[in-house]
Amino acid sequence: MSTHHPVAVIGGGLGGLTAARVLHVNGVQAAVFELEASAAARTQGGMLDIHEENGQKALHAAGLHEDFLQIVHGGGQEMRLVGPDATVHVREKDDGTGARPEVDRGDLRDLLLNSLPDGTVRWGRKVTAVRGLGDGRHEVTFADGSTVTTDLLIGADGAWSRVRPLLSDATPAYTGVSFAETDLHDADARHPRSAALVGGGFFISLGGRRGFLAHRETDGSLHVYAALKADEGWLDTVDFTDPAAAKAAVLTRFEGWHEDLRGLVADADTVTPRRIHALPVGHRWERTPGVTLLGDAAHLMSPFAGEGANLAMLDGAELAEAIAARPGDTEAALASYEQALFPRSEASAAESAASLDTMFGDRGLERMIEFFTAGPAAG
């Protein structure tokens, strides 16, 4: 048996949920299919700075901006930039007036989920195949053998999108940067030196084509990325099933760095590998009836411009508004949406790629000091 949904969103991340919410606000019903088993299947984690010009614009369209302000992490816009010797070169306070307030990704996802009618999200639906049926209709097959058909298929299913091949042969490529991602729980009590080092918001330490990027989370933990330029296969040489061995292997790449900085790995409670991939800058596709992409499925980029979640939400909001504004003419709606999507995402992807080169180049620390002291204030 196959069920039919006029609008099917594949992926229940921030972009897909924003699309469903803005459609709902405008009287259009959508079904969201998410591979995770439930809303609580895993910790969403990670802090996001939600920008006035895109992420917050999407929240206004969703009618959720006032609620968003209630979950903002006070103090989260504080920033420190330090060198490998732990000398602080740039320090910015969070005075509450910035245009990029920090929020916990999980809290933001819950805000969106709770704004949708019951049953909008179908959990535990892992896509195994997608095919066109003609006339802009598509069929989606799931791992449990069930299928759905739809008049409008929205691929919001992330970096390794199952929907993208309907539109594009592009696949994400390794950017040259790998992360060892760590968490230090209950930092003030259990890891006071690390807590004092990172401070109340965002923390950057750079040097020698590597560095540490860290955030203080709303639960009092520290979330850290030990980042370095490395061959794509380097992470495969590290046994991440043995945390002590993994931490030791990562720390060999930070010889000579201040012990407080090394402690962000040495003292961590968890350590997880992550390669950073990106789609080609300027990725786009020919208008194809009945299907489009948003978020990472459309424009996966490295995280070094801080735009991924913001763009996904704006994509979702603008796509939904375009659909609602053109009832009965889906193709005109998708064409209008993509006309704005492509140049916007190309500009951000180019910025992200340039930021990667800056931060992990030979003079990464010096160039970032120049950026923060000579350019406009960050966040």
Our measurement of the distance from residue 80's CA atom to the centroid of its chain's CA atoms, rounded to an integer in Å, reads: 22
- Closest by alpha carbon to 137, among 272, 313, 2, 306? 2
User: Which parts are annotated binding residues for FAD?
Assistant: 49, 105, 296
Q: Report whether 61 contacts 321 (CB < 8 A).
A: yes
User: Which parts are annotated binding residues for NADPH?
Assistant: 42
- Closest by alpha carbon to 30, among 316, 277, 282, 300? 316
User: Which parts are annotated binding residues?
Assistant: 42, 49, 105, 296
Which positions ≥6 away from 170 have C-beta within 8 Å? 164, 279, 280, 283
C-alpha distances out from residue 198 to 33, 78, 83, 287, 330, Å: 38, 10, 13, 46, 48
Cα(19)–Cα(287) distance, rounded to whole angstroms? 19
Cα(87)–Cα(227) distance, rounded to whole angstroms? 19
Q: Residue 160's CB: how many other CB atoms inside 10 A? A: 12
Backbone angles phi, psi at 341, to 5 degrees: -60, -50
Cα(367)–Cα(245) distance, rounded to whole angstroms? 33
